[in-house]
Structure 1
Amino acid sequence: MKYLVKIALGLFVYMAAVASCKDDDDSGITGFSIDKEDITMGADGGKDRVNVLSGGEWVASASEPWVNISPANGSGVTECTVSIDSTLINGMREAEIRFIPRGQAPCVMTVHQTGYGKMIYIEQPDVEIKASDNYDKRYFDVTVTTNVAFKMNTVYDVVPEKQWITLPKDPTVDLDRGSRPRTTKIRVEWMMNPDFDIRTAKIHFTPQKADDQLEQPAVVTVTQKASPRIEDNRSGDSLALLTIRERLEVGNNWNPGENMRYWDNVVLWEEDDKDLPKGENVVGRVRSATFNMINTKESIPQEVHYLTYLESLTFFGNTNTATKSITLEADVCSNLKYLKSLTVSAYGLIALSDDFVQLGDRLETLDLSSNNFNSVPAVITKENFPKLKSLNLTGNRRSVLSDLREAKDSSKYPDGIGLFFNTKEDNTLRRLFLWDNLEELRLSYNFIEGTLPDFKIGEEGVTGYSQDDVDAFGGDTIQYLVNEGVNIPKILPKMKRLSVNLNFFTGNLPDWMLYHPHLIDWDPEILIYNQMEKGLNSEGKMVRFDNEPSTFDAYFKAFPKFKEKYELKE
């Protein structure tokens, strides 16, 4: 009996032990399994979950550093997180996660990650801009996300006379992260819309490499508003003046609600004006306008050509003139049939449009003083401007310089020093002095060096003075020029005001100048003889005239009747 009890007790202990082991093996799980064998992730990376069921302990490891599993070991039922980094490549990449359960064969899960496709993504593909704005505000930024180097080009809905969108020459993006897209901003500048219609353009972004194929096209559509319509009447003149004022940021204090007659620097045609143009409703139209205190980096606004009956036009005083490099465009040339006087002074001009010649049949006065011309514009000739009487090129200097040996130092003066030439090599001054119809020529305060041109009768169309010239001048006042001075050439015969002072001239004053009938009218002691103080020419020679007269005795001896007219009386 005791023996049976011992056997029963032993069986009880054995059953208890078996039950204990089953609890440790997690409710009867046997073997090893995972709920997925593949994970696919996009280029930006991310996380996924995998459930592991194991009857025993296991460990896991990834074949690539861009994949991580956590936890990496366990037993029973375990939820694991698989973390995948973002990729830097275009193509697909793969990795394996190997699960190794104790005493069983390994189990493998494959991770697939897609790469970035070739892309140029435009954040705002549609842009609307104003018809006009201040110069420093005429741009917009395009936010671009890309993983390829790209280029840009503009396609206009209607081919314009002048491109009105300016793209960066070399748009760049730092692709330092392989094929992972980077975001950058591209600045696009635009010009004012002179037309009365809306206009559009498309900016295309394309890969620099032809074999880079985009997933979808990248295009920015730009729509520009129309300008206000300017009509050919008094209201149109008013709107044109106000528009020019706005675009040049002019300081003119004009009240749009006030009659133009009361605007400063504006003159209207009156009914009793002697030169009143023929036409309908000309009275009250703008005859003269002056704009000063300007702030622009551009040419004269095209709205100027709506001022149909304009006779005199002045632009003066641009900010930081010496730093500007502006070409005077053709807008001032078209439609201004009555323009006789044009002043564009201290504006920052460096060139004139070839179309400037259109003003040749009407312009009488041209003032281009205090600009940045490096040479006299080639379009300004007596053939192109037969009616021109006054030409002013005074003060075309970018720099203050008294030694011309430094003038050609491009590192110091990358844009040049101003109106600089040598009369030995450049015939510009000679050409200007042969302009017979000129009554005023201002060339003061430039960088002209060399000698003043001399001429010979019978060459280049030059003649001497005739008895008719003497008679026209007033009898025998200049009789000397057909007697003892018969060999003196007739140069600039109508010139009443000539100035060449504060340049870098050397050598002799020519006889045609020393015995010119209007010499004293020119105030020669100040405006002719007086050259740059302590100035040195390109050869290092001190500038001065070798034969500068100290008195007018020789002049009055030749023209005794001038002595009574000009000599100061005690």
Structure 2
Amino acid sequence: MKAKYILSIMALLIGASCSDDNENTPGFTLDEKEIQMEAVGGTREVHVSVPGNWTATPSESWVQISPTNGKSSEICVIKVDTTILANKQREAIINFKTRNDAETRSLKIVQAGFDKALTLSTTSVELENYADYGKRYFDVEVTSNVDFKVDIPQDAATWLSYDKYKFTLDCGARPRKTTIRFNWEGNTDATNREAKINFLVAEGNEDMVKHDALLISQERAPEITPTREGDSLALVIIERKLNVAVKWDKNESLMNWPQVKLWEEQDKGCTPENLGRVRAVEFSQFITKEGIPDEIRYLTELETLSFFSNGNKFMYSFDTGTAITQLTKLKNLRIYSFGLTTLPPDFVNLKNLVTLDLSSNNFQEVPAILTPENFPNLRHLSLATNRRGHEIDLTGTARYPKEEWGGLYGSNNNNNSNLSNPMLERLFKWENLESLVLSNNIIKGTLPKMAYGVPKYTKEEVEANDTLKTAASVLVGKPKVLPHCKDLRIGLNYLHGDLPDWLLHHPYLMFWSPEISIFNQNRGKDDQGIMPGFSNVPTSFEYFYELYPILKPKY
């Protein structure tokens, strides 16, 4: 009986000993039971203590542990990848086991999902009213895990824009970054301006925790008053914007600035209102890629304005802008070698123009707006040398495509060299012109006979004029073309065919120096392979002086 009692106690002790080995190994501990991780992931350390050998195994591939096995006490580094989930957490378990798998300790990993968000590196930008060309921009870094579209308000689209950017959500809800370059234009108004740029997202993203917008503010331009002081400020701003090579000495009085002329008391048309204001100015030797500055509109008392020689003018396709069309007192306008290709509709406001020189630009055709009806006071018109390139033989390889040749090439008659040139016919009907300069362009075809659409010389007016009456036999009943024009230049073009009678018998023919300005055409073929040159060039001008003996030089 006593033996049975002893055996029972021993069995209980053995059972208790086995239970301790499998479930409650002394010293098997983890210093964490659960780890919370942010969506971006990262690393954490866990202290593992086991009397013997152990192994560690994560349940998910987005969790790594190092080392994965060890002996006794170790510091384990747990690395968690960035999640690809939005607004949703994920979980994993790392099981730590003893060598014989007798006992397990578990560590829970809980990782939050990314909140939907669109954030900007800056949410407000303050701009000055002007910066030099190439420096008017700012960059904004966008961090987002939702696709977006930049939205600039319509009323700000004239002064704000952005470059093309690349943004791809290629890792689920993991935020991606892109940098967007915004471009801005100078503010020429005397008021501040603001704009709010939104970053639009698709429907279904109403649960965003952050959604930034960009606020833009720009300071106003200096106030320019209609005074002498205002004129000087406008001149300085224009000089800066044009990047003029030789700048005015601002320490000098305005009346001493080169190429600037002020209204003085003895000037015809001087009034108390315009006395001391700028009457004439020339801007020369500059490099601009932006056209005529808006501040030109403040020089309201100008009679004469000249822009001369923009560097690399052949690269550009400007129009004059509308600011210059507000100078309704202008009488003489020269925009020479600037890069113009068009004139705006408001150019008709300059009805007081007497002289218009648009030479050495890039006009593909004579602007349709240039008519005697629109410019009743115009007496001198020049569109010389409007070619971009310098090729003489147009059958060869050209530097530019034909639609960019300039040289008034687009004014030709359906590009047919065998037809009369309609542009010349239109301009030759401008009765009040005293000079018309079209030399060194790509004008081709034949000279118009001007049989229609122009008045004819009458017997009465011819006989009443001492110069004309001796040529009555060739003038009466013939077209009266450019009757006041003492300077006609159409040389160095691609004209051919016969010289019309109205030209050979024109009373001002010898004023034109016809050997140079009329008969002398280019020496290379036009783009249809036709060689320029007239077939009936006179060998002498005795016939002319027989018609107009009063014009014969007296040596």
TM-score (norm 2): 0.87
- The residue that corresponds to 1:204 in the other structure is 198
Quick check: 2:116–2:209 contact (8 Å CA) kept in 1? yes
Q: Verify: 1:447 aligned to 2:439, yes or no.
A: no
Quick check: 2:168–2:176 contact (8 Å CA) kept in 1? yes
**Aligned letter for 2:133?**
Y
Quick check: 2:242–2:287 contact (8 Å CA) kept in 1? yes
Q: Verify: 1:310 aligned to 2:305, yes or no.
A: no
Q: Verify: 1:298 aligned to 2:290, yes or no.
A: yes
Secondary structure of the equivalent of 1:431? helix
**Aligned letter for 2:509?**
L
Q: Distance in 2 between matches of 1:108 and 1:114?
A: 20
Q: Distance in 2 between matches of 1:454 and 1:49?
A: 99
Aligned counterpart for 1:100 among listed residues 94, 97, 100:
97
- The residue that corresponds to 1:229 in the other structure is 223
Pairs within 5 Å for 1:128-139: 128-139=126-137
Q: Verify: 1:242 aligned to 2:230, yes or no.
A: no
The alpha carbon displacement at 1:544 in A equals 1.1
- The residue that corresponds to 2:409 in the other structure is 420
Q: Verify: 1:429 aligned to 2:429, yes or no.
A: no
RMSD: 3.0
Secondary structure of the equivalent of 2:497? coil
User: Which has the higher mean CA deviation after the structures are superposed, 298-307 or 550-559?
Assistant: 550-559
Quick check: 2:31–2:46 contact (8 Å CA) kept in 1? yes
**Aligned letter for 1:96?**
I
- The residue that corresponds to 1:9 in the other structure is none
The alpha carbon displacement at 1:505 in A equals 0.9
- The residue that corresponds to 1:545 in the other structure is 534
User: Which has the higher mean CA deviation after the structures are superposed, 224-233 or 75-84?
Assistant: 75-84
Q: Distance in 1 between matches of 2:137 and 2:197?
A: 14
- The residue that corresponds to 1:144 in the other structure is 142
**Aligned letter for 2:437?**
R
Q: Distance in 2 between matches of 1:37 and 1:115?
A: 21
Q: Distance in 1 between matches of 2:442 and 2:304?
A: 29
- The residue that corresponds to 1:41 in the other structure is 37
Quick check: 2:165–2:178 contact (8 Å CA) kept in 1? no
- The residue that corresponds to 2:478 in the other structure is 488
Q: Distance in 1 between matches of 2:133 and 2:298?
A: 22
The alpha carbon displacement at 1:194 in A equals 0.9
Q: Deviations over 1:521-548 (max 9, x none)?
A: 1111101111112x21121111111222
Pairs within 5 Å for 1:22-421: 29-30=25-26, 34-54=30-50, 56-74=52-70, 78-88=74-84, 90=86, 92-101=89-98, 102-104=100-102, 106-155=104-153, 159=155, 163-168=158-163, 170-173=164-167, 179-207=173-201, 209-211=202-204, 214-276=208-270, 278=271, 280-334=272-326, 336-360=327-351, 362-405=352-395, 412=401, 415-421=404-410
**Aligned letter for 1:240?**
A
Quick check: 1:393–1:443 contact (8 Å CA) kept in 2? yes
The alpha carbon displacement at 1:515 in A equals 1.1
How high is the sequence identity, in percent, across the aligned residues?
Answer: 40
Residues 424/146 of structure 1: CA separation in 2 closer, same or farther (3 Å cut): same
- The residue that corresponds to 2:4 in the other structure is none
Q: Distance in 2 between matches of 1:238 and 1:437?
A: 36
Q: Verify: 1:465 aligned to 2:462, yes or no.
A: no
Q: Give structure 2 stretches of 5+ with no counterpart.
A: 1-16, 415-420
- The residue that corresponds to 1:15 in the other structure is none
Quick check: 1:481–1:488 contact (8 Å CA) kept in 2? no
Quick check: 2:114–2:173 contact (8 Å CA) kept in 1? yes
**Aligned letter for 1:400?**
H
User: Which has the higher mean CA deviation after the structures are superposed, 307-316 or 30-39?
Assistant: 30-39
The alpha carbon displacement at 1:204 in A equals 2.0
Q: Distance in 2 between matches of 1:382 and 1:94?
A: 84
Residues 103/61 of structure 1: CA separation in 2 closer, same or farther (3 Å cut): closer
Residues 453/37 of structure 1: CA separation in 2 closer, same or farther (3 Å cut): farther
TM-score (norm 1): 0.85
Q: Distance in 2 between matches of 1:546 and 1:95?
A: 97
User: Which has the higher mean CA deviation after the structures are superposed, 372-381 or 209-218?
Assistant: 209-218
Secondary structure of the equivalent of 2:552? helix
Q: Distance in 2 between matches of 1:512 and 1:466?
A: 14
The alpha carbon displacement at 1:517 in A equals 1.1
Q: Distance in 2 between matches of 1:455 and 1:326?
A: 33
**Aligned letter for 1:132?**
Y
